[in-house]
Amino acid sequence: MREQTESRRRCYRCLLREMDEEAYMRQLHRYIEMLDADVKTAREIYQDRLSRCKECDYLEAGTCQACGCYVELRAAVKKSHCPYRKW
């Protein structure tokens, strides 16, 4: 059982600044894909949330400059919300 868990979850032990952008994006999207269904936002809602974030002046390079979150990750979690109530 432990081997299965270890193969699913990997810690690369690196800082974001040490990762190239492509590797970082793969890791972020892999994390989002692996979220449990009871935690994960429905695809349509996720896409709607991201489109609203893209219209926001606080979005910069995938990060909300108002609260500091990674918008793709925040939008992927059901319980999350925009601190400015845009979604």
Query: What are the boundaries of each domain within the chain?
Result: 1-34, 37-87
Q: What is the pLDDT of residue 27?
A: 85
The predicted-structure confidence for 18-76, as pLDDT tens digits, reads as follows 777 788 888 889 999 999 999 999 999 999 999 999 999 999 988 999 888 899 999 99
Structure tokens at 42: 């429905």
* Residue whose token pair is 């894909």: 33
Sort strands 59-60 and 63-64 into parallel, antiparallel or unpaired.
Answer: antiparallel
Residue 5's pLDDT band (cuts 50, 70, 90): very low
> Model confidence at 6, in pLDDT bands (50, 70, 90)?
very low
Taking the chain, what is the end-to-end CA distance rounded to the nearest angstrom?
Answer: 39
3-state secondary structure of 11: coil
Provide CB contacts within 8 A for 80, sequence distance 6+.
Answer: 41, 74
- Residue 13 has what pLDDT? 63
Tokens of 52: 């609203």
